[in-house]
Structure formats: C-alpha cells, structure tokens
Amino acid sequence: MDLKPLTYLVVGATFALYIGIALWSRAGSTKDFYVAGGGVHPIANGMATAADWMSAASFISMAGLIAFMGYGGSVFLMGWTGGFVILAMLLAPYLRKYGKFTVPEFIGDRFYSNAARAVAVVCLIICSVTYVIGQMKGVGVAFSRFLEVDYATGLLVGMAIVLFYAVLGGMKGITYTQIAQYCVLIMAYTIPAIFISLQLTGNPFPQLGLGATLSGGDTFLLDKLDQMVTELGFAEYTTDVRLSGLNMFAYTASLMIGTAGLPHVIIRFFTVPKVRDARSSAGWALVFIAILYTTAPAVAGMARLNLMQTIEPSPGEHLAYEQRPQWFKNWETTGLLEFEDKNADGRIQYSADSAVNEMVKVDPDIMVLANPEIAQLPNWVIALVAAGGLAAALSTAAGLLLAIASAISHDLLKGMIAPSINERQELMASRIAMAVAIACAGYLGLNPPDFAAGTVALAFGLAASSIFPALMMGIFSQRVNKEGAIAGMVAGIGVTLFYVFQHKGIMFISSTAFLGDMPANWFLGIEPNAFGVVGALVNFTVAFSVSSLTTKPPESIIELVESIRVPSGAGSANDH
C-alpha cells in the first residue's frame, strides 16, 4: 500500500482507539475528572505518566537535537530522567499523602494563604501554556508531512481530537488513553530503531548497536561518525560539550528540578490509591521512560550517519541535486529542509563552513520522522512513526490542558471565587476551562510567540524556578511562611522570565544555535534555557530571607508539615 493511504489508516485507527477509550471512561464526578477516581493501578499509572511525560519534545525533537549536538545532548537524557528520581524520592509520596487534587491546593493550604494559591496558579498556567505550545506545534509538523495537509489544518484536527477525549473523560479518560498512546509511541520509536541498527551493525538492540562495529567491517559506528563530522568541519560528535561545562551542569540541573516541578506530571500521583503506590508509580514510569531514552542516543547517532552518507556516498563525492532521494524532496516541501546551490555545480555539499554549506537548513525536528525514510524502511514503519509522533504530542497536550483547567476551575473558581458551587457546576466549569485552554493553545500553536522554538526547555526552567522550590520548602521546612513562599515564587519566576526575554533573540533551539558562539552578556555563560536553576536559587534565597524577617507559621501549619513528612501518619493518609 502507498504511504499516504497507509498513514491515514494507521493514524485513523489510533485516533479511533483514543476516542473509544474516552467514551468508555467518561468522567462522572470531579474526582474522576481530576484524579481518575484515585484508583489507578501503579503500573498503569506509571505507563500513563510515561506517555504524559514523553511529549513531542522527547519523541520528535530530542534525538534530533542530540544528532546535531552530540555529547552535549546528554543534558536532555540526564536531566529529564534524573528529575524522576527526585520526584519519586522527594515529592510524589508526600504530596499523595496530603491527598488533595492539585499543586496550587497544596501550596495554598501549606502556606495558609489564598494569595499563595493564586500565585501558584499563575505560575502553573505560565509553565503549562509555555509547554503546550510545543506540543501543538508537534501535532502540526507531524500532520503537515505525513498527511500532506497544511500546518494549520493538522493543528486544528489535533485540537479537535484532544478536545473530545480530554473534555469528555477528564483525568479518567486521559489516563487510559495515555496508556494506549504509550504503547503506540514506544512501538513507533523502537521498531524503526531496531531496523536501522540491524542495517548498520547487524545488532537488533539499538543501545548496543551504537557502540558496535559497522556491518562488513571492523570500524566502530561512533568512530565512523566522528571521522565524518570532523572531515566536514564539525566538532567531534562524542566529545563536544554544550558551550561550557558550567552551562551543561546548569542545563542538566534545570531540567532535573523542572521535571520534579511540572504540575501535569505531579498531578498524576494523586490518581493512585495509596502513598506507597505514588512512589511505585514513579519507579514504573522511569522504567517505561527508560525504554525510549536509552534508545534515543542510538536513533540520534544513526540518523546523523545516515544523513551524511546519503548526501556524500563516499569521501569527496557529492550527490547531484537532481538525483536527491525522495525523502529529501518530501521534506523540502515542508520548508524544514532547504538547499541552495552556492557554487552552481548542481551538487549537494554539507559542511560546517557556512560559505560552502549548501544544506542551508536542516531542522533537527525532522531527524526522527525522516530517519525511516532515509533508511528506506517499509511504508508501514514510516506510517507507524507518524502515529507515534502524534501520540506523544497529544498525550502530553492532554495532561497539560487538564492541569490548566483544574487550576482554573478547582483552585480559582471553587477554591477562591465561588466556593459554594456544587460538584456538577464545578465539573461543567472544568470542561469549559479545558475547552478555552485548548482554544488558546491552538491559537498559540498557530501564532507562536518569539520564544516558541525554546518552549520545552523554557517550561522546565519556569517550573524549576517557581513551583519546585515552593513544594520542597512546603514539605521539608517548618520555618518558611506565606510571605516567604509568595516572595520566593514571584522572585524566581520573575528573574527567569526577565533573563529569557532579555535574550529571546538568541535562545532558539536549532542546529545553528548549537554551533554558534556564546554571547558575551550571558550570566556566567549560562544560556536562557538553562537559567531555571539560577531562578530556583533566587527563589530559595528570597523565601528563607523573607521568612526569617517575618512571623513564624502558625502551630497548626507546623503540625501539618510534620504529618506530611513523618511516616507514622502514612496509614491514615491511605484513606484519602
């Protein structure tokens, strides 16, 4: 079957599955809508969390970034997985023990202040909206290529799908849909990787194939890749750091604590029956995530090697532009791959020297989606990759939109503005808030702000600088009071946003940005997307300083902190 009808068939079948699950698991109460009734099995919740977590950035962008960054791309692998260890050990069990629906609700109660709750809602919305732009863009990019529709049409179709199963099913529908989406995306990611690993090395395990020798010879794949990139003037693939050691440390730390502070991930741990299950869910999520994340370096390295070998079949021999393969033509139509014949010789030259390089644009986001086409894999594999990319983007978008909707309906409306509304009215408000959030996300996806290309890493930085410190201090410090928490959150997210917008013209994630010079006015050479860890330090410093100069929290709050932290109270928490 031809690629286009096959892609329609595969993607259509997965969408029908998602909609069917939404109809089967329709939310009938606010508890179903917010936390899926609180009865999800830890393994199922771990799988749903993995799908919620592995967004279009993980599926589409991460391997593409590593393909061009090389060793410097390890910041994403270490940051995004390491954050789950922090989440499992320091946050998830304690927040589940507290037993409320949302992060702002915990912050409002712990810091005995509706103002603190409102600030937490604002921070949550800023982080989540920033993140969801990237997911909506991922939906549009995947559709524009594989379904051969324009970007706007693809985005609108994706919005309609999310609107249906997220608004109808709430967390209950999203949870079981995300389990299905995890199965789709993990097959779509690993099956092409296995095919390509077998092609290049004869090893069916991509993780091992990356360190193996190429088929029919004794040259290691990574040695061949290093040789090819250095001959073309690029930095050595296996040793190239991201700007500086300090910047790599800051980037990794920002992604780690940002992971632990992202509200749409934290809310998933309220869906399990017991405190112990929250920790178990985080462990299972890490296992399911590791399947993709240990495969990503192999996908990246093999994609970069395939790209260069396609363009330059042998050293010094450049492919004639008229003989370019079909995959090259396909991606040229999207505008994400561009060629300019600078020397008018009719051949494609790929080089680090911009005066010579004729592949003037190779968007990193195309690498995972184009890789099966470059490797000439069967059409059904290419169609499966399209379905996987859409599953990754839609699953995370649904989780983010639910976090936004719950913050508006449960924390602002029910918690502060109109506490007398009944459960049915709150559920209706939640669905309306979800629909409005989807509309806003779609608008931002169609008309992204200047910083859209850096949205994913930026979202982590914003969560790291605002929500994570408030949660940590709320759980582990009896001395931090409402004045300190509010001042800390405002200072942390404020300094991060200020730094980002000061440098918004140079923060875009692209292959050229990763090869550029470090701007002189970056603070200690730390790029904007890595600045979240600095914002977190500002948050902690301001919070403790203000708290030390103001009144201690009430005795009831000190007892609340003890009850959350001390294991002896865990039994009663299991009843929530």
Q: What is the pLDDT of residues 123-151, one digit of tens each?
A: 988 888 777 777 777 777 666 766 677 77
CA angle 52, 56, 60 (to 5 degrees): 140
Most confident range (mean pLDDT) of 170-179, 385-394, 453-462 is 385-394
Write down the domain spans for the chain.
3-315+359-448
Q: Which two tokens stand for residue 273?
A: 């029956």
Please give the pLDDT value at position 571.
Answer: 44
CA–CA dist 116, 109 (Å, integer): 9
Burial 219-250 (b: 16+ CB within 10 A, else e): eebbebbbebbeebebbebeebebbeeebbeb
- Which distant-in-sequence residues (6+ apart) come within 8 Å of 307 by Cβ? 67, 362, 367, 374
Count of residues making up the chain? 576
Q: Which two tokens stand for residue 154?
A: 């693809």
Please give the pLDDT value at position 263.
Answer: 76
CA–CA dist 409, 251 (Å, integer): 34
Would you say residue 508 has pLDDT above 50? Answer: no
DSSP 73: G
CA–CA dist 277, 95 (Å, integer): 12
Residue 100's alpha-carbon distances to 103, 145, 152, 372, 420, in angstroms, are 8, 42, 38, 45, 18
First to last CA, the chain: 53
- Virtual torsion, Cα 486, 490, 492, 493, nearest 10 deg: 130
Closest CA to 375 of 126, 200, 190, 559: 200
pLDDT greater at residue 511 or residue 297: 297
3-class state of residue 116 by DSSP: helix
- Please state which of the four CATH numbers 3.40.630.10, 1.10.10.60, 1.20.1730.10, 3.40.50.2300 is assigned to the domain occupying 3-315+359-448: 1.20.1730.10
3-class state of residue 314 by DSSP: strand
Would you say residue 515 has pLDDT above 50? Answer: no
Please give the pLDDT value at position 504.
Answer: 54
Would you say residue 223 has pLDDT above 60? Answer: yes
Q: What is the pLDDT averaged over residues 315-340?
A: 82
Q: What is the pLDDT of residues 100-112, one digit of tens each?
A: 667 888 899 999 9
3-class state of residue 362 by DSSP: strand
Please give the pLDDT value at position 572.
Answer: 41
Q: What is the pLDDT averaged over residues 73-81?
A: 86
Place of tokens 């290419």: 382
Closest CA to 31 of 304, 310, 364, 270: 270
Most confident range (mean pLDDT) of 60-74, 150-164, 373-387, 460-474 is 460-474
With cut-offs at 50, 70 and 90, classify the pLDDT of residue 543: very high
CA–CA dist 371, 428 (Å, integer): 44
Q: What is the pLDDT of residues 189-218, one digit of tens each?
A: 999 999 999 999 999 999 999 999 998 888
CA angle 62, 67, 69 (to 5 degrees): 90
Would you say residue 392 has pLDDT above 80? Answer: no
CA–CA dist 351, 329 (Å, integer): 20
CA 104 to chain centre: 21
Would you say residue 486 has pLDDT above 90? Answer: yes
Please give the pLDDT value at position 132.
Answer: 76
Among the residues of 407-531, which ranges form H helices? Answer: 423-446, 455-476, 482-502, 511-515
Please give the pLDDT value at position 167.
Answer: 66
> 175, 458 in Cβ contact below 8 A?
no
DSSP 510: S
With cut-offs at 50, 70 and 90, classify the pLDDT of residue 464: very high
Would you say residue 570 has pLDDT above 60? Answer: no
- The distance between the two most distant Cα atoms of the chain, rounded to a whole number of Å, is 79
**CA quadruple 402, 406, 412, 413: dihedral positive or negative?**
positive
Please give the pLDDT value at position 39.
Answer: 60
CA–CA dist 318, 346 (Å, integer): 9
Please tell me the least confidently modeled range out of 35-44, 172-181, 248-257, 269-278.
35-44
CA 243 to chain centre: 22
Most confident range (mean pLDDT) of 81-95, 266-280, 473-487 is 473-487
Q: What is the mean pLDDT of the chain?
A: 80
CA–CA dist 105, 121 (Å, integer): 9
